[in-house]
Amino acid sequence: MAKLYFLGIKHSGKTTQARLAAEMLGKTSVDADDLVLSYLGTDSIRTYYKENGKEAFMLAETEAVKAYVDEHDNFIMSLGGGASDNPSLIKILKESGSLIYLRREENEMLPVILKHGIPPFLDPDNLEASFHELYERRDRTYRNIADLTVDLGHYRDKEETALFLIDALKENGYV
């Protein structure tokens, strides 16, 4: 398929893998967060989300991504970690391409996420429990909506991971 959408938990490697895989496959790489930032005319999704709320963010996310999807082809797009919570966005993506879940184990993800500060969707007073609930819910959702789940395993060499991912895409007929 000409349009591939990488989804997964925040900081699971979606953007890096989209860039590397697109480069290796002769496709364009695009980050949905960059599209949203441009659409909103801001430099912080986190600030916009805190100030305007989830619904306003999801509407902007849907409109920004739809505008790109309608005008472009032959790309790999990395989605924001919460894209799975946006049914109107998922509908657009499913109709136009294939959703690829880049899965990482829960125990690997929280330390990576916290390196970048506490995101607004986690409870700062109970980080582990709130992340566990989020991970469990999103993992189920990602698995249900994805056309393909690729378990990327432990963090390893980025290029090696990209080659592993491309092999999985090829084996399953996505490239």
Annotated binding site: 11-16, 33, 81, 138, 156
DSSP 4-36: EEEE-STTSSHHHHHHHHHHHHT-EEEEHHHHH
128 has which bridge partners? none
Known binding residues for substrate are 33, 81, 138
Known binding residues for ATP are 11-16, 156
Structure-token pair, residue 110: 């929280």
Residue 79: CB atoms within 10 Å: 26
